[in-house]
Structure 1
Amino acid sequence: EIFGPVLTMTPFDTEEEAIELANDTPYGLTNYVQTADKSRARRVARQLRSGMVEMNGKFGGAGSPFGGMKHSGNGREGGTWGLEEFLEVKAVSDWE
């Protein structure tokens, strides 16, 4: 897993091949999708196995969850997802 300003560009022929290339790694912190077709961007984002997908130069806003999948971790920071790690659920009957 590389941290830093690194960009890898790999040619592909089909959308399915692009998704396969992106998912063929033990890591899954962030993926990036660049396309003018919003429905394609959303379709691809749903299939990418990473904790975050940035699309067309837009980054997650305040309160967006931060975290990865696979060897990049599976917890989340930020927003309600980050708080849930510190909460416990309790069921109480006959509450008035």
Structure 2
Amino acid sequence: MATKPLTKAQLVAALADETGMDKKAAGAALDAVTGIITKEVAGGGAVTLPGVGKIYCRERPERMVRNPATGEQIKKEADKVVKMTIAKALKDSVNG
């Protein structure tokens, strides 16, 4: 059975506990990492988190989609989507 994901406060508390920092410093570190990842991926780059995976942006081409309510075909403009490839080490630790 799946459990609820960690909240930001719980993640900050766990980070502070693991590193020996206070919660304020751990929160600032988490915000800094999040900001760096956001800036890099938004600029078209990629970020590899060792042992976790790679976060990157992929462009999707223009395509035809169907409105499920009416069945009407409409053209969807090209857009970008954020993707994440999970590291093999994480997959292996989860599966066995």
Shorter-chain TM-score bucket reads under 0.3
Tell which structure's C-alpha radius of gyration is larger. Answer: 2
Q: Which has the higher contact order (CA 8 A, sep 6+)?
A: 1
TM-score (normalised: structure 1): 0.25
The structure with more strand, counted as a fraction of residues: 2
